Structure 1
Amino acid sequence: MATDKLAPQKDDHFTFGLWTVGNRGRDPFGDAVRDTLAPTTIVRELSKLGAYGITLHDNDLIPMEATSAERDRIVNEFRKALDEFGMVVPMVTVNLFYDPIFKDGAFTSSAPAVRRFAIDKAKRAIDLGQELGAHIFVVWGGREGAEVDGAKDPRDALAWYREGINTLTEHIRSRRYDMRIALEPKPNEPRGDIYLPTVGSMLSFIGTLDDAELVGVNPEIAHAKMAGLNPVHEIAQAIDQNKLFHIDLNDQRIARFDQDLRFGSDDIKGAFYIVKLLEDSGYDGPLHFDAHPYRTEDAEGVWEFARGSMRSYLGYREKVRQFHTDAEISGVLARIRELNETGPAVVDSSSLAYWRERGYAYEKLDQLVTELLLGLR
């Protein structure tokens, strides 16, 4: 029997968040359409589908006001499920955006008491991650922003943000945890304006930290596309600086609200080049699907969503392999290199006509890639 190339394996490192498959379909205009899924149920079902691991916000697993005894019971039950179904937790994050206490931000709140509360909450989430075996701690500053710039000096806000991250890296070092922090940028939503909205701004900010070595980024495809940016270029910048610690895979239509569409379901060519970049660069971290099933779906549709996310990535990966072995594509790439390398060595008055008139064969290359993705090659 032929092997299904699109059947996920554990070494593909596919992961989902409790909040992704567990999303109940609630949106700003409508209530939930699906029942709550227990974390242990999510672990079991994703394992059956071939996923490698599960990720979580602290409060996806443990209610914010749980007692110590309740917390320990929940964690023990979750760890038993992970062991039973052969799943791991590569990443945890912290919810610093949902509770009304964070209405003016967490690390960048104007209130010192709220900032201290946020830092302590993040420390506890790091401790939870250590307990579950996670090596990555993602920080998404969903409420780190402003609607009224007169209310706080953005320079102060960045200083408070820096103090928060510095405190977390010191916590990791002092506890000797094998963990790194990945900062997740987003250009807008839910605040009017978000501080550090792009990968580039996050990378610049990381350079100002006390322990920059311990901090990288977690780019999300949808977040880049919300601002009309090219996620391939955002991811490449992180790779170039050895700061791609984690990645969120999904899809998005440009300039829309945060849609969190199934990976590869909308921008087929864009998804192909994302997978090509990750595979060609040798990225070996978690491939994390941060998306939601459509609100139209019932419970079975949730698992179709998860299955489709992994199959799509594997399908694009197969197309990347075909790209590298396609004789005509290889020939066009060789021709492009030849044109670049055999032309005049300098641009001067005698070679201006050559450089002005020569073509680059990009139309041919782009059409061949399009045919590849359409299954015509």
Structure 2
Amino acid sequence: MSAFAPPRSKKARSSGSHGSGNEFFKGIEKIEYKPGAGADEVMVFKHYNASEVINGRTMQDWLRFSVCFWHTFRGVGSDPFGFPTIQRPWEDGTDSMENAKQRLRAAFEFFTKLGIKYWTFHDRDIAPEGQTLEETNSNLDEITDLAKELMEQTGVKLLWNTCNLFAHPRYMNGAMTNPDAHVVAYAAAQIKKGLEIGKKLNAENFVFWGGREGYFTILNTDIRSELDHMASVLRMVVEYKKKIGFTGQLLIEPKPKEPSRHQYDYDAMTVIAFLHSYGLQEHFKINVEPNHTTLAGHPYEHDVVMASVCGMLGSIDSNTGSPDLGWDTDQFPMDVKNTTMVMKTVLEQGGLAPGGLNFDAKVRRESTHLNDMFISHIGAMDSFARGLRNAVKIAEEGILMKMVQERYASFESGVGAKIAKGSSTLEECEDFIKKYGDPEPHSGHQEMYESVLNHYV
């Protein structure tokens, strides 16, 4: 998840209102499933068949894809070293309410033609910020009235919404962890409105990403106070969520760094430890972004697996990055081995609902054609469809599972069973070693496991 850039001042090409029957994506029909399509046929699904039933559920139910609004409809192709390269035909060069509504109508046309059932947004993505909190909230109310209307017309649902607590200058030293209580109070007020909007649009989740909840230097930072203050705000969130009857799942999205030098939500285990430390573990789950996982120095699937085995995997921001670059590139996930590992975990935990696979990804800054918006999502959706099929086959054949079970077979009886149950003692372990002597090393067969996985991919 990252901040969006403002639209360029250049006058956009004219495009009609979706409400008046005109199209923003002229010449593009609804994307169809076409198995066996050729390599150069990129505007069709070759593997993603939404209605196909796999393991008792449709592929659409297993994958629960979502389009993110900030990258897809606010992204302009800029990066830390280059100016914007993308100018969309629905942009008029302003951040006006009129343009915000036009942008929203374009988005729902895109969702419909792509055949996707969920979307996600930040509060500041969809509505311009006003001069006062009251004006800002009024803008949000007006825009979400239109969003609700478009959702009802199209059947597209809100996977989650979130608050942008990192882009505005007021948050340069953090939001919930800011050293100024005035800023913390503003962040809390912004979150309050975000929860209300989530309830209004029947959001299935609500996400917190602490883009600046961290530090650049410990010298000016009271870490314990900042963690305490963040926990205090999150407790307010739990109370207000219950007060207004919002039923969405609360999620925290880990990231180790960028924009801060160090962020308090470093990785899944760090967030889980934080939640347990402050007694919040019953109220929050984890929204894993694999690009953030690799920034933390872990393998792609690491946080997905760790969150899942701890019963805390709530949703996945499905993207990837280029570890050789060393920053968050938010690319579309096209590596089938990665999607296979993710879907293996999702399958093992019985699905992601009410979470999903949100494409927190952006087209490359040189991918400026409208078709690229579709091709990127289609390719990623096909990659996850292939990953799902691979994961199902892995589970059905059970070879990997049997290999792992055999590796841990010593914990099924004797001293191993007692250790596993937590009923053994140090004295018993000592007696066991005195009787049986030193253990013999057993191969981990890493290359064999990797070879078996490659058989399915």
Q: Shared topology, TM-score over 0.5?
A: yes
AA matched with 1:45: F
The aligned residue for residue 329 of structure 2 is: 259
AA matched with 1:318: R
The aligned residue for residue 71 of structure 2 is: 20
Supply the RMSD in Å over aligned alpha carbons. 2.7
AA matched with 2:362: H
* Maintained 8 Å contact 1:97/1:143: yes
Q: CA offset at residue 371 of structure 1?
A: 3.4
TM-score (norm 2): 0.73
* Maintained 8 Å contact 2:71/2:362: yes
> 2:284 matched to 1:219?
no
The aligned residue for residue 297 of structure 2 is: 228
Moved more, 225-234 or 107-116: 225-234
The aligned residue for residue 115 of structure 1 is: 184
Q: CA offset at residue 29 of structure 1?
A: 1.6
Partner Cα distance (1:339, 1:135) in 2 = 39
* Maintained 8 Å contact 2:318/2:361: yes
The aligned residue for residue 316 of structure 1 is: 387
Once the two structures are superposed, residues 105-146 of structure 1 have per-residue CA deviations (whole angstroms, 9 ceiling, x without a partner) of 111111111110011011111111111110311010101111
Partner Cα distance (2:196, 2:313) in 1 = 23
Q: CA offset at residue 210 of structure 1?
A: 5.4
The aligned residue for residue 447 of structure 2 is: 363
The aligned residue for residue 147 of structure 1 is: 216
Structure 1 residues without counterparts, runs of 5 or longer: none
Once the two structures are superposed, residues 160-214 of structure 1 have per-residue CA deviations (whole angstroms, 9 ceiling, x without a partner) of 1111111111111121221232111110100122123111111111123355422
Q: Aligned residue pairs: how many?
A: 367
Q: 1:337 to 1:48 in 2, by over 3 A?
A: same
Partner Cα distance (1:339, 1:241) in 2 = 21
AA matched with 1:46: F
Q: CA offset at residue 158 of structure 1?
A: 0.8
TM-score (norm 1): 0.88
Q: 1:339 to 1:42 in 2, by over 3 A?
A: closer
Greater fraction helix: 1
Q: How does 1:92-107 map to 2 (within 5 A)?
A: 92-107=161-176
* Maintained 8 Å contact 1:91/1:137: yes
Partner Cα distance (1:174, 1:292) in 2 = 36
Task: Find the residue that maps to 1:213 and give its secondary structure.
Answer: coil
The aligned residue for residue 136 of structure 1 is: 205
Partner Cα distance (1:48, 1:261) in 2 = 22
Q: CA offset at residue 7 of structure 1?
A: 2.9
Task: Find the residue that maps to 1:293 and give its secondary structure.
Answer: coil
Question: Of residues 169, 178, 185 in structure 1, which corresponds to 2:254?
Answer: 185
* Maintained 8 Å contact 2:68/2:119: yes
* Maintained 8 Å contact 2:118/2:156: yes
Q: 1:184 to 1:68 in 2, by over 3 A?
A: closer
Structure 2 residues without counterparts, runs of 5 or longer: 1-32, 36-45, 52-59, 91-102, 416-431
Q: 1:15 to 1:345 in 2, by over 3 A?
A: same
